Structure 1
Amino acid sequence: ASFSGGLSIQYLRPSPLRSFAADGDDVKMLVVRDNETGRIAAVGGAVIRREYLGGSTARTAYLTGLKVHPDYQKQLYFIARAYQYMGTLLEDCACVYSTVLDDNTAVIKMFEKHHRNMPEYRYLGHYMTYCFHGGRKFFTLDRDDRNGFDALMQTHFSQFALTPANPDYDGFGEKHFYALRENGVIRACCFAGDQRALKQYRMTAYGGIYRLLSHLPTQWLGYPKLPKAGSIIPHQVISYLYIADNDPALCRKFLRTVAAESGAGVLIWGGFETHPLCPAM
């Protein structure tokens, strides 16, 4: 996938099958081939794992990597058959969900038309992704001491729908656990994982003012050094972020401290639009 704009970024999976498998307990991959021409018409998959729903764990499936060749995108019957077959593979899942980029209007319109042979489409809302930079140590953090985290999984993270019940999937990357404690009690914590062995963001090109900034020492202004065009961005992903009382000031200082401790050029965190930490971002 490619994302264009002032910063043109390409999303890569060096080994797609290995990457998808690392995100869950099982993965179902489909490759649809045109019997007449032998061409691959579409690919797609579902990552299956146990996630929290209503405070309890359930088997869920996340549809991902769905791509239809442009020559087949208007053949709705063929697309419906592919979804139907995928549905038979996921009948034991309590929930099947996916995400679609806002600018992927063709797919959104296809779902919103509620075609008889297509799966029911229920729009839930926006998933927000945030990027952070400018590491600075505000706190002294404990690293890789997970004491108290299991309790938070039961009392806190279980209340957020579609949170993976297993925080140790390989898909989270080579990660470390960071915690801020007060009198032995966790006040803030998260994992920061380097996913580049499985998922990568390549800076393909700069446009507009960013073309000029890419040649300047932006780190002197408190910003990370912009990666060279064509290079892989040294990012890490934040998961299982907990901030006591959802305190915005504590959240910002904690994340900046994690950025400094982890040494990552960019930290990425995502949450559903109603997540109480979104306003802190």
Structure 2
Amino acid sequence: MRGPSEADRGFAVELAGPSDGKALLALYEDGAFPGGISVLFTRRPDAWFSLAREGEVEVVVVRDLGTGRIAAMGACILRPAWINGQVGRTGYLTGLKSLGEYRGRVPLGPRAYRLLYEATRERVDVYYTTILEENLAARRMLEKPRRNMPAYRELGGYTVHCLATGGFGGFPGLCGLRGFRPWDDKKGMVLTGGSWEELWSLYGPRAPEWNFSQTGRPWGVEESDIRLLRDGSGQPVAGCVLWNQAAVKQHIPMEYRGVYRLLRHLPLELAGYPRLPAPGVPAREAGFALLCSREGDPESLALLVEKTAREAAGHDYLLLGLFQDHPLAPHLEKFRGIRYRSRLYTVHWDGEGILPDGRPVGLDVGLL
């Protein structure tokens, strides 16, 4: 690797460790996503611990040698997932951040990327990442072939749906419930809890049919988080878990602009839209994970999502992430809600890495 030039002298690229958790958190807290609702995505109380809960983690940092401060970072979370019908080793690239005062002053991007790759390459079959669709500057920079940088190959669109909760909801029909209890409708389907064995009997056999689907129980999930849709005979036909990661990962609305400044004070849930938390207050949220059905049909999945959202009145909203080829995606576009659209990429150094085949993508939002 080349030595430092005049431009990057004064900075060092190195791997971080658990003792850097608070310094890494400062980078997460340094800026919010722009837009009508400015949202801070953070990993309180310790960013290293938060990242490590999601898998093995390697974090590369650019350190200011004059002050010792971490000026920029990038992370790779290593975990197993189903890829092309087999359990593969994935590396999720995330947390590409810098402190505001250093933006445009840290010229070590290629070296940091290379160090992250060298630290993980023996443990990863395919790297992937997501970039917000509206972040055109980052997309143009990373999609364009650049010397000494990995290649970004776009797979398609990934949408995170923020769904209303409680007894109104933005779904077809206005009946529903508050509180968690079995619930029946004209189709005879009942929403209940269930066991891990019951859920895995639905999810396990179908997981290899998807790319980036999970291979086991997500961290922190309890049996009380399981939701099953049962038919008239009591057999589960669809299931999921509500994955609450608030202990280590939060979305905090920092500012409402434009029309959202007025809408925040209205009872939006009456019209089927998510409640908007007060500025600076972490959203009470949970994400759908391990979403599955016995027959693989979108109708039972849509009914499961609707019923689960109705009983989750204690949350401001529920998050559901779907890739563009998910059979449920067209149904979710009919639901009222707030949507964040991203692009999903595989990332390749030196032409290496598995290319996912034509199977649909089953990536859970809690893994982003």
Scaled by the length of structure 1, what TM-score is found?
0.87
Q: Which residue in 1 is equivalent to 2:180?
A: none
| Partner Cα distance (1:142, 1:265) in 2 | 21
Change (3 A) 1:150 1:217: closer
Q: Number of residue pairs matched?
A: 278
Equivalent residue runs for 1:22-33 within 5 Å:
22-24=53-55, 26-33=56-63
Q: Which amino acid aligns with 2:331?
A: A
| Partner Cα distance (1:35, 1:194) in 2 | 39
| Partner Cα distance (1:18, 1:87) in 2 | 21
Q: Which residue in 2 is equivalent to 1:226?
A: 276
Is 1:158 paired with 2:208?
Answer: yes
Equivalent residue runs for 1:154-193 within 5 Å:
154-170=204-220, 176-182=225-231, 183-193=233-243
Equivalent residue runs for 1:61-140 within 5 Å:
61-69=91-99, 71=102, 73=104, 78-92=108-122, 93-135=124-166, 136-137=176-177, 139=184, 140=190
Q: Which residue in 1 is equivalent to 2:73?
A: 43
Q: Which residue in 2 is equivalent to 1:210?
A: 260
| Partner Cα distance (1:84, 1:173) in 2 | 38
| Partner Cα distance (1:95, 1:73) in 2 | 29
Q: Retained in 2: the 8 A contact 1:43–1:68?
A: yes
Q: CA shift at 1:27, angstroms?
A: 0.7
Give a deviation string over 1:85-123, Cα, whole Å, max 9, x none.
111112121011111112222322222221121112211
Q: Retained in 2: the 8 A contact 1:251–1:280?
A: no
Q: CA shift at 1:49, angstroms?
A: 0.6
Change (3 A) 1:226 1:86: closer
| Partner Cα distance (1:44, 1:249) in 2 | 39
Q: Which amino acid aligns with 2:219?
A: Y
Q: Which amino acid aligns with 2:245?
A: Q
Change (3 A) 1:124 1:17: same
Q: Retained in 1: the 8 A contact 2:164–2:318?
A: yes
Q: Which residue in 2 is equivalent to 1:8?
A: 38
Q: Which amino acid aligns with 1:87?
A: Y
Q: Retained in 2: the 8 A contact 1:173–1:198?
A: no
Equivalent residue runs for 1:48-59 within 5 Å:
48-59=78-89
Change (3 A) 1:175 1:7: farther
Identity %: 33
Change (3 A) 1:13 1:174: farther
Q: Retained in 2: the 8 A contact 1:189–1:242?
A: yes
| Partner Cα distance (1:224, 1:98) in 2 | 27
Segment of structure 1 superposing worse, 217-226 or 158-167: 217-226
| Partner Cα distance (1:38, 1:217) in 2 | 48
Pick from 266, 269, 277 the counterpart of residue 317 of structure 2. 266
Scaled by the length of structure 2, what TM-score is found?
0.68
Q: Retained in 1: the 8 A contact 2:78–2:92?
A: yes
Change (3 A) 1:4 1:158: same
Q: Retained in 1: the 8 A contact 2:75–2:96?
A: yes
Equivalent residue runs for 1:230-245 within 5 Å:
230-243=280-293, 245=295
Q: Retained in 1: the 8 A contact 2:165–2:311?
A: no
Q: Retained in 2: the 8 A contact 1:175–1:193?
A: no
Give a deviation string over 1:57-106, Cα, whole Å, max 9, x none.
11111011111456464766x21111111111121210111111122223
Q: Which amino acid aligns with 1:275?
A: H
CA root-mean-square deviation: 2.5
Q: CA shift at 1:228, angstroms?
A: 1.8
Q: CA shift at 1:37, angstroms?
A: 6.0
Q: Which residue in 2 is equivalent to 1:280?
A: 331
Change (3 A) 1:175 1:96: farther
Structure 1 portions without partners, runs of 5+: none
Q: CA shift at 1:39, angstroms?
A: 4.6
